[in-house]
Amino acid sequence: MNRIGISIKPNDARACALLCELHRWLVERDCTVFVDQKLETCIGCATGCDRLPVAEMPDKVELMIVLGGDGTLLHAARDFIGSETPILGINLGRLGFLTDTPVGHMFDVVEQILAGNLKTTRHFSLHAEVWRGSEKLMSSRAMNDVVLERRGGMIGFEMCVNERFVFRMRGDGLILATPAGSTAYALSAGGPIVHPAVDAISVVPVCPHTLSNRPVVIPADEQIELHLVESSSQGAALNLDGIEMLRLEQNDRIVVRKNGYISLVYLPDRHHYYEVLRTKLKWAGQVETR
């Protein structure tokens, strides 16, 4: 690998300094470096690098490095859906489930990856469409989750899977999460942690106005449709990976289905999914010596 793309958390002095340091380090190893075109304030020290929109990088780079937290990685990863280009996340945030490489190990990890010592975990994404009658208002993708959420008072909606009615609910909303997204908003709302190897979507109600609505995990290949049947005067909204995409009105429909994959890179001797869970979630207990 010698064509490397880099994107960082915007307006972050620490990330900017690390970008310049990483760029010089890569150039010394005869790599061609492409830096996110939006980071104009960070590339003065990265003399000689090529500026390129992240959307064009999947066809140009062999490795994408993201410096920041999970939100930064999610933003960059949207353009890599369906690409085989691996993404390495360097954690400058807090938990960092997706960006699980500590910044202190950045150069050691990148050096091993450049030498070919890497594996990837493939995460599927979700594709969401919004329909108002026969008009398609929006079509977009998410790596973590698709969220129907209230903007004012409680909302009411129906959910169907493969055109079969599942339930009708009143509450604050609903989260449809991939396994990668199961440790994000869905986990905070009481959803299950789903291993990346499990091909499934978590359906997690947000503050349902009944004790009977509970999270459920369904096969990822099934199509989900949400029908907004009740909303307040403020309406509702569709949120993809933490970004509000569209204001919704009563009777709007959201259709969600499985989409292309994203490849996250890790080192075989540094990454263990259950160890990541224990460390990030601070699970108590340890192995007993017998």
d(CA 264, CA 15) in angstroms, rounded, equals: 20
d(CA 186, CA 179) in angstroms, rounded, equals: 10
Q: Coil, strand or helix: which one is 251?
A: coil
Torsions phi, psi for 277 (to 5 deg): -60, -45
The helix (run of H) or strand (run of E) holding residue 108 is helix 106-114
**139 touches 129 (CB < 8 A):** yes
Supply 174's token pair: 């609903």
Residue 287: burial class (beta carbons within 10 Å; 0-12, 13-18, 19+): exposed
**121 touches 198 (CB < 8 A):** no
- In this prediction, residue 42 carries a pLDDT of 63
d(CA 63, CA 83) in angstroms, rounded, equals: 11
Same domain, 51 and 27: yes
The CATH number of the domain where 195 resides is what? 2.60.200.30
**63 touches 85 (CB < 8 A):** yes
Same domain, 91 and 133: no
d(CA 238, CA 173) in angstroms, rounded, equals: 10
Same domain, 200 and 276: no
Partners of residue 248 on adjacent β-strands: 236
Same domain, 111 and 156: no
Same domain, 145 and 249: yes
Same domain, 198 and 232: yes
Instruction: Tell me which of 36, 50, 70, 269 is the catalytic residue.
Output: 70
Same domain, 100 and 62: yes
79 is catalytic: no
pLDDT tens series, the chain, 290 aa: 889 999 998 888 889 899 999 999 999 999 999 999 887 656 555 455 688 899 999 999 999 999 999 999 999 999 999 999 999 999 987 778 888 788 888 999 999 999 988 888 999 999 999 999 999 999 999 999 999 999 988 999 999 999 999 999 999 999 999 999 999 999 999 999 999 999 999 999 999 998 888 999 999 999 999 999 998 778 899 999 999 899 999 999 999 999 999 999 877 666 678 888 888 888 877 777 76
Same domain, 47 and 111: yes
The CATH number of the domain where 31 resides is what? 3.40.50.10330
Same domain, 89 and 138: no
Same domain, 59 and 133: no
Supply 205's token pair: 């109600």
Which domain, by its residues, includes 87? 3-118+267-281
d(CA 55, CA 104) in angstroms, rounded, equals: 28
Same domain, 63 and 137: no
- In this prediction, residue 45 carries a pLDDT of 54
